[in-house]
Amino acid sequence: MPNPNIRRAVSAALMTTVCWPALTHAAESITQSPTAPTITVAAADTATETAINIPAGDLRTALESYIRQTGSQLIYRADDVAGLSTQGAQGHLSAQQALDSILANTGLTVHRDPSGAVVVSRKSASSADAAPAVRNAAAAGAVVAQPQVAQADTIDTAVAGAPDLQEIIVTGLRSKRNLLNASVAITAVNEGDLDQKAARSTAEVLETIPGIFVEATAGPVSNNYSVRGLPGGSQQFVRLIEDGMPGIYGGLNDDEVFQNDISIERVEALQGGSSGILTPNAAGASINFISRKLNFDEAGGIARMTGTTYGDRRGDLWFSSPIPGLKDTAFAISGYYDSTPGVRDSPFRYDTYHIKAQLEHKFEDGWIRFTVKDWDEHDPYYADQPYAYSNGQISSVAGLDSQYGNIIGKGFANISVPDSCYANGQCFRNFSMQEGIHAKGHQFRVDGEREFDNGLSVFFRGRYTETDWNFNGVFAGSGTGNGGLASAVDYLTPSSVSPIYSLLQSGLAAYPTTAQFGIRNLTTGQITAASNTAALNALNGNGLLQQTVLNRQLVKLRDWGSDFGAKWETSGDSWANSLTVGGMIYATDINTDQSGVATVINDVSNGSNIYDVVALNSAGGVLGSISNNGLISYGDWGQGISATHQTSKSVYVNNEFTWNQDLHVDFGVRYEREDTDAVAGNSSALAIPAGVGGIVQTNPNAFNGTYSYTSGHESPVNVTAGVNYTIAQNLSVYGRYAHAYQTQGTNAVATALTLYEAGVTYSDYGLTGTIRGFRTEFNNQNWGGGVDVDNPNLNQAFFADSQTNGVDVDLFYRPTYEPLRAFAIHAQATYQDPKFSNVKVGYTDVNGTNIAPQVAAFYDGKIPGRTPKLLYAITPEYDLPDNKGQIYLRYKYVGRIFADNGNQVELPGYGVLSIGAIYNVTQATTLNVSVDNVTNELGLTEGNPRQGFTQEIVNGYFYGRGIVGTNAMVSLTVKF
């Protein structure tokens, strides 16, 4: 739980300084009658000379300066000016003279509309082709640029819809390019798309991106996602970045230091291509969460309250204002407070706050922004739980609801686990599901850009992140797997049928007069003897016991990061070039304590109970405890102590060349030198502290106070090249090659990934979309082995290539026929065909026979575990009249996956139906209602990945992790 004094102080500060004035203003705006927006454009005197100072450089920036300095109105296409440079304009000039100077040698000319607007277009375009008025220019995809003027107090609500192909993107490219002429696979997710998605976690935002498979079933954090056929079960090759920079270099998952909130205005997702050049360890994809721009003209903000059917209560706020007395300076403060039990039933609540403060100052030729973030976050965590399997159908185990159930009960609140006294000096470690995942952290960041003459500019991003990440999670079946999921009767039978046979044998030796064993419920104290088979078989309606690992891991991470460089933009009569040369420096220190991992026995039920195993005499009396308050083993995941110092230094070049406005050719290269020094604790069998109950008195893997030292370095070279050809203003094609790496610490060989892709983008007749074909090569990797159920000798690890051919589709259609324009449909789909090839296994002797060829043949052609072939989502939507909002349906389908590399346990595909409505109560107030998994579909995202790599279904049961059942979320958003 967060410190209550801090929580009260933060809440009071927000209420008195931000929330109360903001909500008061919002309430006043709701009660006032809305007025129609008005736009007043002052016509500039084109003949009067005035002082003009517009430096050379980016043409669009120069045109924006021209508008401010002359008060003129311009109409131009973003595609026409993208990537062009200008000589600028200086001196006492008329508006016309200044514009002529800016457009000199750019290939652009000026036409004047009868209404007085100035239209900038290519010289090849005739005046008849130019948009005749402001209203037509906007419809034609042009930019209507005009001086900033006062408007009525109305606020438009963003809605989901077709992507704007002329929208300038900022992810993966250094010059100003748009969705049409970009030579990378970019998906733009606007604020309306985010509102329509109504994501329950940050990971669910990624479901709006074709080609990414999201396993958003772990809770708010530590979820898994994979891209373009790469194996699931981690976040490898995919980075979440904020405003162009990752929050950490490595050591934790990105969603453990970043959470999506109302301060984020839009998302840009870059797959492959320059992702591995401009972001470390992001060869597969970089997902850029882009913050709202600060208010430099007048104060304003957004407040949102959210509630769910599973008990989540959350409040978000973003407020920004210019600072009186400080010209061109603004600040923003944002954050959220959340209290939730999690999407699955729980006896605990988890409270979280995040705060972000920003201060930005604009210069004539640049800007600088400071950002400070602070968080204190508590989250539940869900690992696997038992499922039943019969006649090809997966269902709940009796007593444990697959849709809402959770094995975490009150007995898991706080458990004292014996630990090595060398680890923390206290000889015990507290495991707490009441605490859950508890992360406290801070981030300090500075960003800036400065423009110079002759198209030269410099940029800098630097940040420091620190977090103490305290993970408490239960892992049912880990280590023992399905074999540990057995009847209570078998557990208490002192023969080989018992999963704790050796423990029972030790119990018989310790208590020679034992007549039978029994279990004692630690919550109620009730003892059930082995002879009471009726009671044992009736336990929770299933008669089962299991073994659950208590994993506590404390990670203290301190991470410095920077990205800096210079950009030079130049152009000629028919060409333009943007060259970026930059560097990145990261330094990370990580201290990890995962000692004291232990295993308990618990039943299979919602809010399960922990049991002691006890020895009973012939009269049923307790002779002694075999376990220690349910704990049956210690040091299960090793000694757990380590420390790492990691540095990464990169230099990169990214060049973007444009010929005749239509042909774009890009290439990038990044050389990285990564060095790691690491220490790992050594282990020995040590006695647990005196006085601890149970017959297990030794930790076989205890940290013994000594260390082993290792070091290593890697020097990967990441490269990419791409080309885009714009055939028409609504049609383009592109192709891209990339070869990039994931660094591996002390491993001298970074993990390589090669990607090929080509695509076409089109927009006309109401249809806007992109189709991309891709190939992913993940070669010569080491894969965990599995078991052919008919031949257990094939349980061998192997080397193999994983290669995937696939296609992504992202389409949006809105009829152009006016009576039907309120209807639209958005479809995203990925089909991919991943498979193992070139399988290699070393000499493997079984009874004098080398079975390596059999092992290779078994895995050849198999599908990598947790990788679906088919993903798609279809969203029909209807826009309410008078801009009142939108009603939508979404059907998401995830194709079958295998829980293992041997393809022995198939998890069937599943479809999830969602419905929702976004209703504009007023022009400043929006109600958003979303119901997810309307049909209460049972869908599994994984089998037990910790048991092994190929599983069998034992006695009709197996371990998996699934989506939650039907649930709803309601939010009310007020803009002021």
Query: Domain 50-145 belongs to what topology?
Result: Phage tail protein beta-alpha-beta fold (3.55.50)
Distance of CA 203 to the CA centre of its chain: 4
The answer to whether 621 and 514 are in contact (CB under 8 A) is no
User: CA nearest 876: which of 913, 920, 909, 910?
Assistant: 913
Q: What is the pLDDT of residues 630-668, one digit of tens each?
A: 999 999 998 899 999 999 999 999 999 999 989 999 999
pLDDT reported for residue 173: 66
Q: What pLDDT does 665 receive?
A: 96
Domain with CATH 3.55.50.30 in the chain: 50-145
- For the residues 603-623, what does the mean pLDDT come to? 97
Interatomic CA distance for residues 205 and 396, integer angstroms: 28
- Edge-to-edge order in the sheet of strand 118-122: 108-112, 118-122, 74-77, 142-145
Residue 831 pLDDT exceeds 80: yes
Helices (H), 436-500: 488-491
Q: Tell me whether strands 74-77 and 118-122 are parallel, antiparallel or unpaired.
A: parallel
Sign of the alpha-carbon dihedral angle for 932, 936, 937, 940: positive
**Which of 132-136, 273-277, 942-946 has the highest average model confidence (pLDDT)?**
273-277
Length of the chain (residues): 976
- Contact criterion met (CB below 8 Å) for 313 and 340: yes
Q: What is the mean pLDDT of the chain?
A: 87
Check if the beta carbon of residue 697 is closer than 8 Å to that of residue 688: yes
pLDDT tens across 491-537, in order? 999 999 999 999 999 999 999 999 999 999 999 999 999 999 999 99
Least confident of 342-351, 531-540, 592-601, 935-944: 935-944
Contact 282, 275 (CB under 8 A): yes
Q: Identify the pLDDT of residue 791.
A: 65
Could you give the CA distance from residue 6 to residue 352 in angstroms, rounded to a whole number?
A: 12
Q: Under 8 Å CB-to-CB from 726, ≥6 apart: which residues?
A: 79, 180, 181, 661, 662, 663, 664, 732
Task: Give 366-389 pLDDT, tens digit per residue.
Answer: 999 999 999 999 999 999 999 998
Neighbours of 104 (CB within 10 A): 12
In contact, 939 and 914? CB cutoff 8 Å? no
Average confidence (pLDDT) over 164-193: 79
* Structure tokens given for 602: 């618990």
Report how far apart, in Å, the C-alpha atoms of 579 and of each of 207, 569, 621, 657, 693 are. 34, 6, 82, 8, 69
The predicted structure's pLDDT at residue 597: 95
